[in-house]
Amino acid sequence: MKHLFCIFILFFCSATSAKQIDEAIEQGELRLGLALGLGTISNPLNEGDNFPLIAIPDIAYYGERFYFDNGQLGLTLVDEKHHVISLISELNPENRFFVTWHPANVFIVRNAYTEPATRDRISISEINRPNWALDGGLNYQYIADSWRFSADVLHDISGVHFGHRVALSFAKGWQFRSGVLSVRLGLDYLSHKLADYYYGIQADDNVGQTFEQDAAVLPHVEVSWQMPINERFGLLAKIKYHNLGSLSDSPLFSSDESVTIFTGVTHVF
């Protein structure tokens, strides 16, 4: 939490003069971008591998109402100056640390190194792997000149975990001569059913114990810096800190945080 406090103080209280840039996109045109560089995603699960991050795609397509944007499918119902309401659907991201073929892991190379398990922890290789879940729900955004608030309310529509989640975020950006600095503060709520499906230990896991994971609240913060070089190329650096809150009580976890870092060159095709 002290990390979050540091970031908050650093960026929200000091820089006040610059403005956020609206990200506009042409309707009917596919935006395809690829960032190549170096980075990593730390895996908080016991015996879970860290993921070397070598590329980040940026894929977006917007129609008049329909859109696909970086893994999220949406249908915009209300699109006013400040208020946007959309029906959305996306894969549940909680599966990303269990498998390598989640869309969020397509561009990631698995590291062969694994840390040894401790006695009071259970390895993810010992339990039944969770299934894919498709969540669907509503997204509301309030878009101001210099900041944006977003709220998602999503429920499992694939009959996998039968739970729901709520994601709140507040984003603000500052434009400097050298580029755009963006900060996003977020809070995710995972319901009991969802959290227990992914991070509980069930009797059929056959590991000699069970564990019921309760609902959890996960704060996170992301800081990114983008510097355009020309129309197609740019530089990107980002860091995302995810606190796992009470989830880390589960025997499946060996850490109470996950950190994503990346630095690279972006290219828009």
Indicate the residue among 132 and 162 with the shorter CB distance to other proteins.
Answer: 132
Q: Which of 17, 112, 128, 204: binder of other proteins (CB under 8 A)? A: 17
Query: To the nearest whole angstrom, how small is the minimum distance from the Cβ of residue 209 to other proteins?
Result: 32
Q: How far is the CB of 240 from other proteins (least distance, A)?
A: 7
Q: How far apart are CA 88 and CA 220, in angstroms?
A: 21
Among 70-78, 111-119, 187-195, 196-204, the segment contacting other proteins (CB under 8 A) = 70-78
Matching residue, tokens 């993921």: 51
Binding region for other proteins (CB under 8 A) out of 5-13, 120-128, 160-168, 248-256: 5-13
The distance between the two most distant Cα atoms of the chain, rounded to a whole number of Å, is 59
| CA-based R_g, the chain, Å | 19
Structure tokens at 3: 């990390």
Residue reference for tokens 């006013």: 80
Selected binder of other proteins within 38, 71, 162, 210 (CB under 8 A)? 71
124 is a site residue for other proteins (CB under 8 A):
no
Tell me: does residue 86 bind other proteins (CB under 8 A): yes
Please state, in angstroms and rounded to a whole number, the distance separating the CA atoms of residues 182 and 224: 5
Residue 202 CB, shortest distance to other proteins, in Å, is 29
Considering the rule CB under 8 A, would residue 92 count as an interface residue with other proteins? Answer: no
In the bound state with other proteins, the residue whose beta carbon lies nearer, of 107 and 211, is: 107
Q: Which stretch binds other proteins (CB under 8 A): 63-71, 157-165, 211-219, 247-255?
A: 63-71
Strands 72-79 and 66-69: antiparallel
DSSP 228: E
In the numeric block, which tokens belong to residue 33? 């971008």
**Nearer of residues 254 and 260 to other proteins, judged by Cβ:** 260
Residue number, 166 or 207, with CB nearest to other proteins? 166
Smallest gap from Cβ 13 to other proteins, in A, equals 14
Question: What is the distance of C-alpha 138 from the center of its chain?
Answer: 17
Instruction: Please identify, among the stretches 114-122, 158-166, 204-212, 232-240, the one whose residues bind other proteins according to the rule CB under 8 A.
Output: 232-240
Three-class DSSP labels, 115-182: CCCCCCCCCCCCCCCCCCCEEEEEEEEEECCCEEEEEEEEEECCCCCCCEEEEEEEEEEEEECCEEEE
Residue 64 in the binding site for other proteins (CB under 8 A): yes
Residue 251 is given by DSSP the state: T
Helix (H, G, I), strand (E, B) or coil at 205: helix
Q: Which of residues 190-229 bind other proteins (CB under 8 A)?
A: 223-227
Applying CB under 8 A, does 12 fall inside the site for other proteins? no
- Does 3 contact other proteins by CB under 8 A? yes
Tokens of 147: 């900041």
Tokens 């698995």 appear where? 110
Report how far residue 145's alpha carbon sits from residue 172's, in angstroms, rounded to the nearest whole number.
10
